[in-house]
Amino acid sequence: MTPLPIQETNGFIWIFPGNTQLADPALIPPFPEFGQEGWRPVHGEYTWNANFSRVVESGLDTSHAPFVHKPFFPNRDDAVVHPLDVKVTDHHVSTYVQLKPPKRLGLLKYIIKKDRDYSSSVLTGYLPCINRIAIDFNWRGYQYIYFASNIPVSDNLTLTKWIGVRNFLTQAWGDNNSMKNTVETYQEDKVVVESQPSTPSWVTQGEDLLLASDQLILAYRKALAKATMSEAAKS
């Protein structure tokens, strides 16, 4: 049995597989809201019959909401592809997106004003398998941040462990609503993610049709391909 370095941070236990000399806690993605006063966490896990890269890309898809997620369905006819400012480093890709506000369901419909100009989100993918989706409702500073590690169990099975934090309805009685919204979003995404090719996305060569709205996904694939090549060169 080989002992592996671990570190407990931000509600997760991080394991450093591979070369133990390269284990660096500084590479753990930031989640500064976790554990802070005024932020209430919920957490859970779920599985996907898909490669982890397809799961990450679902959280980087800037245009799918009106076509996949029920609260956004009424916005389909107004769907627009805006230019994206995609930020890329060796460790993450990220962009900011504004959307027409969704029809809120559950408790949110009672506490969030209907006629807001927009809601926004910052979508981030940390290499290789972490999503952060930070939603700003553009109403009284209310935010929900979804942070997930999508762990490859095999080429075609991914285990997601997630934490969601909110800075509104921070009492325990709001937890069920928060969990329900997150799990329903997962179930809606699951149908699409599991219809994707079972191969890792970053080795795809012209088999997928990517559109202008897929710039963040393309940036993630390029970053993963680059990281994979540099790891191969080291070994």
Question: Which of these segments, 10-18, 44-52, 166-174, 189-197, binds Fe ion (CB under 5 A)?
Answer: 189-197
Nearer to Fe ion, 170 or 194 (CB): 194
Task: Give the C-alpha separation, 151 to 129, whole Å.
Answer: 7
Nearer to Fe ion, 189 or 214 (CB): 189
Task: Give the C-alpha separation, 68 to 56, whole Å.
Answer: 16
Amino acid letter, residue 234: K
Nearer to Fe ion, 33 or 189 (CB): 189
Could you tell me the smallest distance in angstroms from the CB atom of residue 192 to Fe ion?
8
Could you tell me the smallest distance in angstroms from the CB atom of residue 187 to Fe ion?
10
Q: Token pair for residue 78?
A: 């107004």
**Exposure letters 23-55 (e unless 16+ CB within 10 A, then b):** beeeeebebebbeeeebbbbbeebebebbbbbb
Question: Which of these segments, 2-10, 31-39, 153-161, 184-192, binds Fe ion (CB under 5 A)?
Answer: 184-192
Q: What sign does the dihedral 67-69-73-76 (CA atoms) show?
A: negative
Give one DSSP letter per residue of 94-156, joined into a string: EEEEEEPPPPP-TTHHHHS-S--S-EEEEEEEETTTEEEEEEE-SSTT-EEEEEEEEEEEETT
Site string for Fe ion, 94-133 (x = CB under 5 A): ----------------------------------------
Please tell me the count of residues contacting Fe ion according to CB under 5 A: 1
Question: Which of these segments, 19-27, 137-145, 151-159, 185-193, binds Fe ion (CB under 5 A)?
Answer: 185-193
- What residue number has its CB nearest to Fe ion? 189
Instruction: By CB under 5 A, name the one of 127, 168, 178, 189 that touches Fe ion.
Output: 189
Could you tell me the smallest distance in angstroms from the CB atom of residue 171 to Fe ion?
27
Could you tell me the smallest distance in angstroms from the CB atom of residue 158 to Fe ion?
15
Q: What is the C-alpha radius of gyration for the chain, rounded to an integer number of angstroms? A: 18
Q: Which positions lie near Fe ion, rule CB under 5 A?
A: 189
